[in-house]
Amino acid sequence: MQWSPAPLRTALVAAAAVVLALAAAFVVPDLPGRILVGLAALGAAVDAARDVVVRPRLAAGPEGVAVRTWGAPQRLAWPGLRARVRTTRRLGVLTRTLEIDVDPAVDEDGVLVVLGRRDLGAPVEEVARRLRAMNPAEPNRGPTRGPLD
């Protein structure tokens, strides 16, 4: 199984980057405005490029999970792996993230990966359930939700 950002969202962000770049070049009359709009275009372009280059963002197989970032994929084996949904409130908005970590008794590096719905292209609760079901070591280990649920 694998999860990646939604292609439609990536296309919309890329289109927004093009529109902002054209606005910076042809519409915005003053230099500070051009710089600000140009930086917004650059940020949107980098975001869209990350969605294209770093695919799939999360993959799960018989050996464990692999999380892709700008660097090399990080591979985490099933033994000691925990997947849970953390709910936090920031600025009055509830945010759910998928936390994947490895028990320190198994891997002393203390790996923690945090992914959101945008990274996965699917609800984080569904991804956590599937990861827990795929884990041959202990599929029903610990809570899947954070303290605010």
Are β-strands 112-116 and 93-102 bridged in parallel, bridged antiparallel, or unpaired?
antiparallel
Cβ atoms of residues 82 and 94 within 8 Å: no
The answer to whether residues 44 and 13 touch, using CB atoms and an 8 Å cutoff, is yes
The pLDDT score that the predictor gives to residue 111 is: 81
β-strand pairing of 64-67 with 58-60 = antiparallel
Cα separation, 147 vs 99, whole angstroms:
13
Residues of the chain with pLDDT below 70 are 105-109, 138-149
pLDDT value at residue 149 = 46
